[in-house]
Chain A
Amino acid sequence: MATEALHENETLASLKSEAENLKGKLEEERAKLHDVELHQVAERVEALGQFVMKTRRTLKGHGNKVLCMDWCKDKRRIVSSSQDGKVIVWDSFTTNKEHAVTMPCTWVMACAYAPSGCAIACGGLDNKCSVYPLTFDKNENMAAKKKSVAMHTNYLSACSFTNSDMQGCDKKAMVWDMRSGQCVQAFETHESDINSVRYYPSGDAFASGSDDATCRLYDLRADREVAIYSKESIIFGASSVDFSLSGRLLFAGYNDYTINVWDVLKGSRVSILFGHENRVSTLRVSPDGTAFCSGSWDHTLRVWA
């Protein structure tokens, strides 16, 4: 029996050392191709001009922290969800509320607009993802038409109508092949939890926002981090990130109530936006890139342009 236990320990030890060796090799391989920094390549790119972006609309109506939001493809409707248990669909041009659904739980952490514009999905502490068809018929009870599409063993933190191929779990960002269910690449350079990941418009890279107060850009073909967006003066975590249409700008919402706008190529901050009176929890650029919307623990959403 003792020899069996010894054998077991040896195998564990050899597996551990193999894992360490492989991690070292991975770092080596990645370092070999690290011949230049992104901002060096972008040295001769014209610098961006002065930014004049301000709040154009403030959407008020939630009774508690706004946790998530998404744009409709029509570039004007927005769905938002809140700790107050409500999911609201807004017309961002007029600020009118078009639909409101009360969820059976508080902390509705995730919501998404269907590409068709005809439904929304949401979920949270109820451990489910539910889809609600949107109807303008005043006699229809939206809640009655709800359909549950997924049961999870824990709370729903994000949902999306397209294959969500990425997740930030702890300090690691992982890229998954949805067809095989395999993790294809993993990146662990953040020093703290990753709160948000977003694909770069071309699909060849992605950005992440983390509690370590930095945002980073990872190139999938180079298989490594290629840029860090940080400043000594920024000490609060970044909760949500999104790119502008061309990918030149990275908008990031922070726990210090601000939104920082970064020049993706040069690595510098081009603007800092004030307005929210509590943490920025969610941020998305509109489908045509004309504006972006931020949601906050101050119960409001703001549309900036």
Chain B
Amino acid sequence: MPALPIEDLPEKEKLKMEVEQLRKEVKLQRQQVSKCSEEIKNYIEERSGEDPLVKGIPEDKNPFKEKGSCVIS
């Protein structure tokens, strides 16, 4: 896809592009925030039990655990 040198276009052309783009964006199908937020919440709840950084990893299973028994950090 050819790159457009936006800076070189005359003001009118830039405005035309902006108006066209805005017309498209206004027509977008949107959903209620409540519905979308529920879905995000459910997605997270289903998976956070298995999220290592959320539930923590027992030291012996942690691949990044310190080596050796005596650690000064």
Contacts and interface: CB of A to CB of B under 8 A. Distances in A.
Interface string A1-20: 00000001001100110110
Contacts of B35: 222
Interface stretch (A97-105, A132-140, A191-199, A244-252): A244-252
A246 B38 contact: no
Interface in A7-59: 8, 11-12, 15-16, 18-19, 22-23, 25-26, 29-30, 33-38, 41-42, 45, 48, 52-57
B72 interface: no
Nearest to A186: B25
A56 B25 CA distance: 46
Contact of A245 (B34, B37, B50): B50
B31 A222 contact: yes
A74 B47 CA distance: 21
A36 B40 CA distance: 13
A35 B64 contact: no
A48 B54 contact: yes
A143 interface: no
A54 B64 CA distance: 11
Contact of A285 (B22, B40, B48, B53): B53
B1 A16 contact: no
Nearest to A220: B36
B66 A56 contact: yes
A305 B43 contact: no
Contacts of A36: 33-34, 37
Chain B interface residue number, banded: 35 or more
Interface stretch (A62-70, A79-87, A159-167, A287-295): A287-295
A136 B3 CA distance: 38
A288 B64 CA distance: 13
A133 to B, nearest CB: 27
* Majority DSSP secondary structure for residues of B touching A: helix
Interface stretch (A110-118, A200-208, A232-240): A200-208
Given A186-B25, A219-B40, A222-B36, A246 B18 contact: no
A247 B44 contact: yes
Contacts of A289: 51-53
Contacts of B48: 246, 248
B45 interface: yes
B43 A29 contact: no
Given A54-B73, A246-B43, A246-B54, 14 more contacts: A12-B15, A15-B12, A18-B19, A22-B26, A29-B30, A33-B33, A38-B40, A92-B64, A247-B43, A249-B51, A265-B40, A265-B41, A290-B64, A305-B62
The 6 A-B pairs at the shortest CB distance, nearest first, are namely A246-B47, A56-B64, A22-B22, A246-B51, A15-B15, A41-B37
Interface of B: 1, 3, 11-12, 15-16, 18-19, 21-26, 28, 30-41, 43-48, 50-54, 56-57, 62-66, 73
27 contacts: A12-B11, A15-B19, A16-B15, A33-B33, A38-B40, A38-B41, A41-B37, A41-B38, A55-B73, A92-B64, A93-B64, A185-B25, A185-B28, A186-B25, A201-B43, A219-B37, A221-B30, A221-B31, A221-B36, A226-B37, A226-B40, A245-B51, A246-B50, A247-B40, A249-B51, A291-B52, A303-B64
